Amino acid sequence: MACFSLTLQKLVCFGFLFLAWLGLSACGPAEPKTDAPAPDMRRLTEDQYRNIIADVFGTQITVSGRFDPLVRTEGLLAVAAWNTSVSSTGIMQYEEIAQSIATQVLSKENRETYALCSGVSYTAFDESCARKFLAKVGRVLLRRPLTKDELTARITIARDSANTLGKFYAGLSFGLISLLVDPEFLFITDFTESDPARSNAIRLTAFSKAARLSFLLWNTTPDDKLLRAAESGELHSRDGLNREVNRLMASTRLKTGLRAFISDMLNFDEFDSLEKDSIIYPAFGAAVVRDAREQTLRTITDHLVTRNGDYRDLFTTKKTFMSRPLGMVYRVRVKAPDNVWESYEFAPDDPRIGIQGHLSFLALNAHPGRSSPTLRGKGIRSMLLCQKIPDPPADVDFSGFNNPESLGKTARERLLAHATNSACIGCHRIMDPIGLALENYDGAGQFRGVENDAEINSSGELDGIAFSDSTGLGQALHDNPAIPTCLVNRLYAYASGRTFTAKSDWLTYLNKVFADGGYRVTDLLKRIATSTTFYAVSSPHNLDQTFESASNIIHFD
């Protein structure tokens, strides 16, 4: 009995140790320490600006005007936003947009809804109403409650304007305009405070944390619940942060956030200037351009969010969505009526496969009147594999390639010229063999078996993996180790504005998390959103960025 008792004890101890080991294993590898960047600020993108206005005032408010463009940096517009200011013309444009928004919000039709005041004189200035309105919208627009002084200043602007114009709401609109052109609205700024957990260290304020989280997951300003979590200090606790991350990720708005990232990563801003030769591709009209973009975004969010699928399967999937305009270009039956999307799956023997087989990729990475194996190969290298391709030499001669009668019937034959030109071969041999696998799709993405009556050879090669057609390319992309690592690189750069070298511990950690989790993007997002690194900041040299004391904060319920 004594022996049995001893054996039982050993078993119990072993069991506890085993359970502890399981628990620790389930948590995954520990987050490595990284050098935290200095606090920074980034300009709102146009999409973010529009999303905020829609969230605060509703979709019936039209945002019309021009925004200063962003120049893509390190493959992303989001990274450029961290390194971009506003031109003087840009400020004027923001002011014009703000005036238009304010006029609509405080128009006769809308003012009662937004101002939440009733029985207000249209001429005499009503300070109570003005205070209520400006504090409410100011909290959401600036992503934190206004201080006493800030609110007083806005009320003064509104009062002075109302007294001059003799109209209360006209004056109130100037108070709103002052918020819409405030740098703290136009720029998402990292505000910091002393970190009570570490001496001589700073941390992001809860409001700045909320902003980072909200723009990552929803691509818009923090909602009321998230602002309350910030106000109460919950976001500084692990449980509080996890709770809000889970809430945001459970929302359908997660797809909006992911769409913004995917659009940036795949250069979908180029759709704004996409044009095809209407004589060569008569079906490729405005409706097709609109729907081609939407098709890929729907396919990706459906796969990554709804189905929580493996990211790599995006390059081999046959599942997508189809609309009537797209059906004409893909030459497939669409049962759904106009302006309605239906699920669609390409037949097993259909050569079209993966998002690289969508019109969005094929048409964006082609010329107005013909296909381009080079552009498509470059697109895959730069957007999906995060590899930089140098620009062509300034004195390159395209005439041979552009004249289809001079060198060959198919693009493959015409591109042979690059193989013999020492100035060209270095870059083209890493682009063309990929793009040639997609030559069965013309400049609009329509399938073709021949070009100039010559049968198309769609064999190719990617990093030593040869394939005979676009199906093989899809599988080669799926299996290429750079596909998931590039996604990790881009996603974190999008989230933080920071880029890392491939050897950084932080990227290595994220890549391992991604791989161990079966390449689930939602899991990766969650890991980033709940990480310490994502919110880490370090003291900049000789700068003091402490936040206003709590006694100056106005609360509005």
Partner 1 sequence: MSVLNFQHMSTKTFLRTFAFASIFFLSSPMEVTSAEKMTLGFVITNWSTAMYETLFMDECSGGPTPGNYEIWEASVTPEVRRSYPVLLFSQLRHINNRGRNGLNVCDHPTSFDDPSLEIIEGKYAYGANLDGNKHGRATSTSCEHKNFTGLNGEEGIDNQMYRLMGCVEAWKSYGHIENNANSHRLSSGLGMILIEVTDVENERNDESVSVSFFRGIGSYNLDSTGNPLPYASYGIDHENGRARYGDTVMGKIVNGVLTTKSADVHLPFFGNYQYMNQLFRDMQLELELSDDGEPMTGLITGYYGVDQFYSYVRGMLSTFPNRHKFSCPAIYVAAHQLADGHPDPETGECTTLSSAFNIQAISAFINHPDYD
**Where does this chain bind partner 1 (CB under 8 A)?**
278, 282-283, 285, 324-325, 327-329, 331-335, 337-338
Query: Looking at beta carbons only, is 8 or 450 nearer to partner 1?
Result: 450
User: Which residues share a beta bridge with 192?
Assistant: 204, 546
Q: Could you tell me the smallest distance in angstroms from the CB atom of residue 333 to partner 1?
A: 4
Query: Looking at beta carbons only, is 272 or 338 nearer to partner 1?
Result: 338
Query: Looking at beta carbons only, is 432 or 442 nearer to partner 1?
Result: 442
Q: Could you tell me the smallest distance in angstroms from the CB atom of residue 294 to partner 1?
A: 18
Q: Could you tell me the smallest distance in angstroms from the CB atom of residue 451 to partner 1?
A: 13
Helical (H) or strand (E) element with 356: none
Query: Looking at beta carbons only, is 11 or 340 nearer to partner 1?
Result: 340
Query: Looking at beta carbons only, is 238 or 333 nearer to partner 1?
Result: 333
Query: Looking at beta carbons only, is 278 or 552 nearer to partner 1?
Result: 278
Query: Looking at beta carbons only, is 278 or 532 nearer to partner 1?
Result: 278
Distance, in Å, from the CA atom of 167 to the CA atom of 98, rounded to the nearest integer, reads 19
Closest CA to 57 of 138, 173, 137: 137
Helical (H) or strand (E) element with 450: strand 450-451
Q: Could you tell me the smallest distance in angstroms from the CB atom of residue 487 to partner 1?
A: 34
Q: Could you tell me the smallest distance in angstroms from the CB atom of residue 540 to partner 1?
A: 55
Q: Could you tell me the smallest distance in angstroms from the CB atom of residue 379 to partner 1?
A: 26
Q: Is the dihedral of CA 372, 373, 376, 382 positive or negative?
A: negative
Closest CA to 276 of 289, 267, 287: 289
Q: In the Cβ-directed half-sphere of 204, how many Cα atoms lie within 13 Å?
A: 27
Q: Could you tell me the smallest distance in angstroms from the CB atom of residue 331 to partner 1?
A: 4
Distance, in Å, from the CA atom of 477 to the CA atom of 384, rounded to the nearest integer, reads 9
Closest CA to 109 of 181, 58, 165, 49: 58
Q: Could you tell me the smallest distance in angstroms from the CB atom of residue 321 to partner 1?
A: 15
Cβ atoms within 10 Å, residue 385: 19
Q: Could you tell me the smallest distance in angstroms from the CB atom of residue 243 to partner 1?
A: 45
Query: Looking at beta carbons only, is 113 or 339 nearer to partner 1?
Result: 339
Q: Could you tell me the smallest distance in angstroms from the CB atom of residue 291 to partner 1?
A: 13
CA distances to 102, 115, 176 from 110, in Å:
10, 8, 14
Query: Looking at beta carbons only, is 109 or 338 nearer to partner 1?
Result: 338
* Alpha-carbon torsion, ordered 159, 164, 168, 171, to 10 deg: -60
Distance, in Å, from the CA atom of 394 to the CA atom of 339, rounded to the nearest integer, reads 45
Q: Where are the alpha helices (DSSP H) in 465-504?
A: 470-479, 482-496
Q: Could you tell me the smallest distance in angstroms from the CB atom of residue 296 to partner 1?
A: 20
Query: Looking at beta carbons only, is 330 or 401 nearer to partner 1?
Result: 330
Q: Which residue has the tokens 């709770």?
A: 243
Q: Could you tell me the smallest distance in angstroms from the CB atom of residue 335 to partner 1?
A: 5
Query: Looking at beta carbons only, is 28 or 285 nearer to partner 1?
Result: 285
Q: Which residue has the tokens 């109460």?
A: 232
Distance, in Å, from the CA atom of 396 to the CA atom of 424, rounded to the nearest integer, reads 8
Distance, in Å, from the CA atom of 264 to the CA atom of 261, rounded to the nearest integer, reads 5
Vertex 192: Cα angle to 231 and 67 (nearest 5)? 90
* Alpha-carbon torsion, ordered 234, 239, 245, 250, to 10 deg: -120
Q: Could you tell me the smallest distance in angstroms from the CB atom of residue 322 to partner 1?
A: 9
Vertex 139: Cα angle to 168 and 107 (nearest 5)? 30
Is residue 96 within 8 A of residue 65, CB to CB? The reply is yes
Residue length, the chain? Answer: 557
Query: Looking at beta carbons only, is 248 or 326 nearer to partner 1?
Result: 326
Helix, strand, coil percentages (3-state) for the chain, rounded to 5, are: 55, 5, 35
Structure tokens at 42: 């980034």
Distance, in Å, from the CA atom of 77 to the CA atom of 390, rounded to the nearest integer, reads 19
Query: Looking at beta carbons only, is 447 or 500 nearer to partner 1?
Result: 447
Contacts of 327 (CB under 8 A, 6+ apart): 333, 334
